[in-house]
A and B are shown apart, each in its own frame.
Chain A
Amino acid sequence: MRPVYALGAGAHPWGKWPEKPQLQLALEAMSAALADAGIVWAEVQGLVAASSRFEGGMGWGLHANEVVQAVAEQGIPCINVGGACAAGAIALQTAHALVASGQYDVVAALGAERMPKGFIPRPPGSADDRSDNDFLRWVAMGATNPAYWAIEARRRQHEHGTSERTLAQASALMRRNAGGNRLARYRDPISEEDVLASPMVADPLHLLQICPVSDGAAAVILGSEDYVRRSGKAAVRVAGCAVGSGQFGDPARRIPTISSTVRDGVAHTSEVTGAVRAAFELAGIGPEDVDLLEMADNSAWHILAWPELFGFYEPGQGDWMLEQGKLAIGGELAINPSGGFLSFGEATTAQALLQVSEVLWQLRGEAHGHQVPEAKVGMTAVLGLGANGGSVILTR
C-alpha cells in the first residue's frame, strides 16, 4: 500500500432541513470538501458514497451516481456501500483502498442523510415472524433502542458504581464541546442538573443522554502524496483505516436482537473494538499516542464505556477520567471535541465521515472554537446495524 492523505473535508451543518433534499445536502458537502482540498470536480477520479435507505439513491442506494449525474458526468467509478450507521466508515475504507492501491490519485468519500421523523420504520418486505429480530423485539417486548443502551448503563452502575451524576456529566461535556462548533445542531450549554431534570426515557438514561436524529452531510477527499504536496495544506495522513464485523460470543446488547450467546474472553462491541485494534496495528501506534477520539456516543453510557473497550484505560476508570476533566478539550484524551452524536443528532450514514472531517480539521489546527491544543493524532470509531464497525486514525 502507498501512503494516503486526507486532502480536504466538508460538511453541511447538522439540523432539520425540510427545504433541502438529500441530494442538495450531498452537493453542498462535496463543494465544501473540494474547496477545502483546493481542487475541482474535474480532478476527482472516483466517488464512494454511503448508501442510505431513507432518501435518495434512486431506490437502489445509488447515492454516488446521483451526485455525479447532478454535477460531474465524467465517467468516474461510482461505488455505493452499505453499512447502516457505519456506512461512512466503509465508504472511507473503500476510498482509501482505491488510492492506496495506486489505481487512483484522488477519491472522495461521501455520506448525506435526511432522517425520517419519529421512530425509524422497518424496511419494506420484512417478515412478520420469529425469523426477524426487528419484528420480535417490538411485538414481544417493545424494546426501544434506548432500552438496549440503558441495560448496558445499568449493568455498568452495578459493576463499577457509576453514578447518575457522572452519566449526566458526560452529556454536559458533549454540549460544552459543541458550543464552539458551528456544524453542531445543539450548542447551548447544559448543566448536570438540566440533564437529570430532562424526562427519564429508559432508566438510568434521560432524554438529554440519548442522541436524537438529524439531517446532515459530510465528505472527505483522499489523495496521493503528490496531491497533498500540491495543495500546500498540512499533510495529514490516513495512518490506519479498518472496518470489521462482530465476533461470535460478544456480550454486547446488539440492537435489534433479543438474546446474546455469550462466550468468555470475547470483546464487548467486538465489531468496533476489532476495527480499532486493526487501525492501531496499521498505524503502528497505541492508545497512548492518541490526542483525540471521535466516537459514536449514541448515549452517555458510550462516552464512559467505549474508550475502556478500546484500551485507553482500565474498565471502570472512565468515570474518574471524566470527573477529573481528563476527557475534556485540553485534557489527557479529548473525547468528541466536535460535541459528538449527543450534540449533532445522528444523520446515520453521514456520521462517520463527519468524525473523520472533525479529526482532519483538528490536526490542521482549524477547529476554531473547539480546538484540541497541539493535536497530532486523532482516531474515530463507529458502529452500525448488522454488527458493522469502523475506525480511522489520522496523523500529521
Chain B
Amino acid sequence: MGEAAERFVVEGLVEQTSAGPRLIGSRCRGCGTFYFPQKASCPNPACTDKAPVAALLPDQGTLYSYTLQRYQPPPLFRMDGWEPYLLGLVDLGEGLQVMGMLTGVKEQEVRIGMTLRLVTEPLYCDDDGTAVLTYKFTPAGTAL
C-alpha cells in the first residue's frame, strides 16, 4: 500500500513548503499590494504598473471576526461527517484579510484577536479514495 492520494479542492490556492502550507496569492510589482487568490491584474486605481506576480502569503494572522455556520451549504460544498463549523476572517497583515474554516478550536474558546496559523485538512474523500484538502486556520501553538 502506497501513501494515500491527496489533492486540494482547487488548484493554485495552497503550496506545501518544507515549513508547512502557505496560501498562494499575488503581490503587485507596481504598488506592492497583496491579494488572495492570485489576481489577473491590480485593481488599485493609483497603480500604473498593474503587474501582479505569485507570492506566498504569511502563514499566521489574527482573528478579525467569525461565525458558526449552522446549516449545510448547497452541494458544491462537500464535507464528510457534516457538522456545523466555524468560519473566520483572518487578518494576515499586509492589509489582507482572508476567510477560511477554523479547526482545533471550539466556539466557546474563539476570541477575536487570537493568533491563528494556516493548516490543511481533508474535507472529504473522493469516490476513488483521494483525500480532498482545504486550507483552515487553527490556534497558533496547537499541534495538528
**Contact surface of A with B, Cβ cutoff 8 Å:** 118-119, 122, 129-131, 135-144, 147, 150-152, 154-155, 158, 199-205, 248-249, 251, 253, 258-263
Contacts and interface: CB of A to CB of B under 8 A. Distances in A.
Interface string B1-42: 000000001111100000000000100000001111110100
B77 A151 contact: no
A151 B89 contact: yes
Interface residues of B, number: 46
Contacts of B68: 200, 202-203
B67 A147 contact: yes
B81 interface: no
Contacts of B89: 151, 155, 253
Contacts of A200: 68, 70
Contacts of A248: 43-46
Contacts of A141: 77, 87, 99-101, 134
30 contacts: A118-B74, A119-B74, A130-B10, A130-B13, A138-B74, A138-B76, A138-B77, A139-B10, A139-B78, A139-B134, A140-B10, A140-B100, A141-B99, A142-B69, A143-B73, A143-B87, A144-B71, A151-B87, A151-B89, A155-B89, A158-B65, A202-B87, A203-B68, A205-B67, A251-B97, A259-B35, A259-B36, A259-B37, A261-B35, A262-B95
Given A138-B77, A258-B36, A199 B70 contact: yes
B36 A147 contact: no
B104 to A, nearest CB: 16
B70 A140 contact: no
Interface string B105-117: 0010000100000
Contacts of B56: none
B4 to A, nearest CB: 20
Contact of A147 (B45, B87, B112): B87
B93 to A, nearest CB: 11
Contacts of A155: 64-65, 89, 112
Interface string B48-84: 0000000000000000111111111110111100000
- Pick from A142, A155, A248 the residue with the most CB of B within 10 Å: A142
Contacts of B76: 122, 135, 138-139
A201 B40 contact: no
B74 A139 contact: no
B71 to A, nearest CB: 6
Nearest to A200: B70
B62 to A, nearest CB: 12
- Pick from A140, A143, A251, A258 the residue with the most CB of B within 10 Å: A140
The 5 A-B pairs with the shortest beta carbon distances in the complex, nearest first, are A142-B73, A142-B77, A150-B67, A138-B76, A155-B65
Contact of A130 (B12, B66, B97, B101): B12
B100 A130 contact: no
Contacts of B140: none
B10 A259 contact: no
Given A129-B12, A262-B95, 9 more contacts: A130-B11, A142-B77, A152-B65, A155-B64, A200-B68, A201-B71, A205-B67, A259-B36, A261-B95
Contacts of A136: 10, 13, 37
Interface of B: 9-13, 25, 33-38, 40, 43-46, 64-74, 76-79, 85, 87, 89, 95-101, 107, 112, 134-135
Nearest to B67: A150
A205 B25 CA distance: 31
Given A130-B12, A259-B36, A262-B96, A138 B67 contact: no
A282 B44 CA distance: 27
A251 B68 CA distance: 21
A262 B33 CA distance: 10
Nearest to A136: B10
Contacts of A135: 10, 76
A130 B87 CA distance: 19
B34 A261 contact: yes
A131 B40 contact: yes
Contacts of A158: 65, 112
- Pick from B71, B72, B99, B100 the residue with the most CB of A within 10 Å: B99
B88 to A, nearest CB: 8
A251 B96 CA distance: 10
A262 B38 CA distance: 16
Nearest to B31: A248
A136 B70 CA distance: 19
Nearest to B107: A203
B38 A154 contact: no
Contacts of B11: 129-130
Contacts of B71: 144, 201
Given A142-B73, A259-B99, A202 B65 contact: no
B101 A262 contact: no
A204 B67 CA distance: 7
A159 to B, nearest CB: 9
